[in-house]
Amino acid sequence: MGFPLPPPMRRALDLAAEAAEAGEVPVGAVITRAGAIVAEGRNAMRAGHDPTAHAEMVALRAAAAALGTSRLDDCTLWVSLEPCAMCAGAIALARIEALRFAAEDVKGGAVVNGPRLFGQPTCHHRPDVLGGIGEEEAAEQLRRFFLDRR
């Protein structure tokens, strides 16, 4: 039996489940500051006809609006899936202090897989990264979602 999930990751996984119920790929994201939730998002690409409406992007936009700044340097992003290149780039530009994610994304991830964006010399900001938090649940959500569509 493992440790209980930190509340922000629990919320990110719940948002991922909501995304799946809405027919979106199950990914959820939460942004915290000083331990409090500032913003959240879930995948909304199909509903919004917006290819950039990944959970992370939705949460980053909401946090920037809520805090009145594009610099989120004292915030942590909790996401149920390793961010893609677009989202990793936005995380760096937002100056997110820490990134916590559940499942790795071997095909589309850009943090510990693929281009490993934060390790590139052209990346000017590197958040503290920790993956695997709630990995089993997140991976099961994704497996179930794609299995149901085949």
Binding-site residue ranges for Zn(2+): 54, 84, 87
Binding-site residue ranges: 54, 84, 87
Could you please report the per-residue DSSP string of 42-70? E--HHHHT-TT--HHHHHHHHHHHHHT-S
Between CA 53 and CA 128 the distance in angstroms is 24
Q: Which helix (H) or strand (E) holds 91?
A: helix 85-94
- Catalytic: 135? no
Q: Which helix (H) or strand (E) holds 93?
A: helix 85-94
Catalytic residue among 56, 82, 137, 140: 56
Tokens of 99: 């990134």
**DSSP helix/strand/coil, 143:** helix
Q: What residues act catalytically?
A: 56
